[in-house]
Chain A
Amino acid sequence: MFIFKLGLKNLTRQKRRNILIIFVIAFAFFGYLMMDSLMNGMEEMSFDNIKNYDTGNIQIVNPAYWEDREDLPLENLINLNQEIIEIIQETEGVLGVSPELRFKANLNNGIDETAVIGLGISFEQYNQVFATKNYIVEGSMFTSGELKAVIGVSLADLMDLKVDDYITLLVRTKDDTFNTIDVEISGLVRAPNPMINNGIVFVPLELAQQALNVDNGVSLLALKTIPGEEDAIIKRLKSSFQNKNFNLKPYSWKESASSVIALSAAKKGGIGTVLLVVLLIGMLGIINNVILSALERTEEIGMMKALGMRGWEIVFVFMIEATGIGILGGLAGCLLGYIGVSWLVKYGFSIGYISGGDASGYGIPILDRIYGIWNYPSFTFLFILGIIIAVLSSILPSYWAAKKDPVKAIYHR
């Protein structure tokens, strides 16, 4: 117990050096916690933006369509009928179904032309699945039967368009002939998912089906489900489709977002590297401190040995001191981290300097700001790991200190 007390009292020696090491450890912890919060926030926002504005929780498609879905083909579409809709809607856990017809188009404003993705939707059903309507910044969404369209603000800026302007979508029909869709812009959208804003034109589903000559065909059915139950719902849907001999297959949003998920995996590797650097900084700080302390206290170590202290008892004194520094550094780091993460959660981190706040060019479907999220296990994990590292990294230099020859230590001057 006295040795423990001595170890703790030793913390008050070399105050400036100890404070510096505590500060270095705290700063490293702070950096890690901020990055962890930001990365996890980015991941959560990306996933939410994919689910809420692009894929829904589950997409149902013809398996042959799925293979070529990036090319937006008009082959292998789902011939939509009430039976399919009813089966899906009656599946436990499904909250909404939105049929979509996705197609390639060239948008013409009368002067310029640009390639866009056309999205034929049924407004009411689309709203059950996606949150886009909350981000109409000008005008309004169209309703069924209207010859109207909604486009993103970025696309509107690019093509110098505004609400009530007319646009022409040049499309190729299923039979590979050209056709046009002439619509009036009813609204402009600025959704958190920048991909919606940049190159998508929403038009009424029936209008798109008619122009593309696909009858009742839709590219996919996007589903909103109870969060986290996607896998179970997919199982139920598969079973239902099998029973009815429907050539349909449900896919989780994760399969549509593989590039973002890959980015997320890379992020975990990045956080791991940061963690390694943080721990290395802590280790070096502790090792350096124990070695310097042992050098400064050589005579004292000699005296302790003369009094009959055993090697492990001297090791223990230094380890207590090192552990104390680790604990104080960890606590200060967690406190700084708490303040920093609170700020990130509330105010976020501006990405305005990246392509005008649009990170989609980097595969991250986030606009303007990335908000941090609380990851309390990270605080606990880092704090405990910090203490373990402090203890472990102090063993060798403490042992080195305790191994000193008592005579040389006493008379080292």
Chain B
Amino acid sequence: MALLELKKVKKIYRQGKIEVPALRGIDLTVEQGEFTTIFGPSGSGKTTLLNMIGCLDTPSDGEVKLNGDEVSKLSPKQLAMVRRYNIGFIFQAYNLIPVLTAYENVEFAIRLIHLSKDGEIRKKVLKMLEEVGLKGLENRRPNELSGGEKQRVAIARALIKEPKIVLADEPTANLDSETGAEVIKIMVKMNQELKTTFIFSTHDPLIMKYAKRLINLKDGMISADERRG
């Protein structure tokens, strides 16, 4: 059974009386542990597709299945629960909470799922921060961290709850190429070690270089789907 399955997914936005189709019937299957990149020009529907996969939005038509369960017809509350336990997000602008330290920003995600005891949470968060190369920076607030360090915190936050999928929307867009490469390497390492599925929406050729699957989106449709080694 595929981890993620999209069948004839359409998304139409309405602007007054005008209907703007963002996705025109996407069929896509993603297996556990894939490192996939969705790319394409601006307005091709990359972010919309990522939102459908991330259960942030529901399709106008078609169905989205996660782990075999249909999620496209769920209520907002049910979708929130699906996101809470199954999906990690990495944003272009990091979206860290400025009043929390690096440790607390990561802790925040795991506290929501109420699975572990305090001692275990501490161990887990510290280990995850070490994995992403932030050992010793646990008590720094976002304004005391560089762009690359912030994105590492965001990666740790996305991975700490061991989600089935991590969705990353332009994760390197705000980073210089050297820092961007370091961040990508961390994600590649996590993908290999934890077998977490990563799906990127990006223009960054570096991410595309590391991706094992490249999906080209054009005018709301998949125009190419290439798997590598």
Contact = CB atoms under 8 A, between A and B. Distances in A.
Interface stretch (A50-58, A146-154, A299-307, A349-357): A299-307
A87 interface: no
B116 to A, nearest CB: 12
A9 interface: yes
Contacts of A306: 54, 56, 83, 87, 89
- The size class of the interface chain B forms with chain A is 20 to 34
Contact of A13 (B77, B98, B112): B98
Given A308-B80, A308-B81, A407-B57, A303 B91 contact: yes
A2 B101 CA distance: 13
A411 B157 CA distance: 19
B109 interface: yes
A198 B83 CA distance: 82
B111 interface: yes
A160 B16 CA distance: 89
- Chain B residues touching A, majority SS: helix
B77 A303 contact: no
B210 interface: no
A277 interface: no
Given A305-B80, A310-B77, A410 B112 contact: no
A228 to B, nearest CB: 55
A406 interface: yes
Nearest to A313: B112
Interface in B21-77: 47, 51, 54, 56-57, 77
B194 interface: no
18 contacts: A299-B95, A300-B97, A305-B56, A305-B83, A306-B83, A307-B83, A307-B157, A308-B80, A308-B82, A308-B84, A308-B85, A309-B84, A309-B112, A311-B77, A406-B57, A407-B51, A407-B56, A410-B91
Question: Which 8 pairs across A and B sit closest by C-beta, in order of nearness?
Answer: A308-B84, A303-B95, A2-B111, A308-B83, A9-B99, A306-B89, A406-B56, A308-B80
Interface of A: 1-2, 6, 9-10, 12-13, 299-300, 302-303, 305-311, 406-407, 410-411
Interface of B: 47, 51, 54, 56-57, 77, 80-85, 87, 89, 91, 93, 95, 97-100, 107-109, 111-113, 157
